[in-house]
Amino acid sequence: MPKNLLVADDSLTIRKVIGMIFATEDFQVTAVDNGLDAISRSRELRPDVVLADVMMPGKSGYEVCEALKSDPATQGIPVVLLAGTFEAFDENRARAARADDHVTKPFESQVLLDKVKALVGQKSNTMPASAATQVRPAAPQPAPAGPARGGAAATPCPSWWGHKS
């Protein structure tokens, strides 16, 4: 069963790039362009992970994180904050909001994948005992030897991001 990922970013480009990164993974991606929709969709969908831009209309990623972590129905959803290179990332505010991690844009595709997969794994490992006895997550499989799909060791960042993979 695919994992659900909610992406909240006002940049259409970032939403599309994240969609492409997770297109070949076992994830269903839902994207919104503002913080208010991120909160309502999170309550509705109960995604496995939320990626939220720190600067977007409606509510910032920090505010989205605060809202989700203060709601008993969504407090267990891991939140990764996305910050731009030229945006000041406020570690104290992220900590106060109880963010699980953060990524600076532009990011390496594999770094984002690894962080999201680690958080999904942690979430599976912290299920209540009653749920854990009913549903057992599959054991992680070793990574295949050799290059990943498409012959590359990792999904390269688009060249228009201005750095090398």
* Domains within the chain, CATH numbers bracketed: 3-116 (3.40.50.2300)
Q: Which two tokens stand for residue 135?
A: 């549903």
Alpha-carbon span 37 to 125, nearest angstrom = 28
The pairing of strands 49-53 and 27-32 is: unpaired
pLDDT of residue 124: 55
pLDDT tens by residue, 12-34: 999 999 999 999 999 999 999 99
Alpha-carbon span 151 to 160, nearest angstrom = 21
Better-predicted residue by pLDDT, 132 or 64: 64
Report field, pTM of the whole predicted structure over 0.85: no
- Give the mean model confidence (pLDDT) for residues 74-82: 97
pLDDT tens by residue, 91-133: 999 999 999 999 999 999 999 999 999 999 876 554 443 333 3
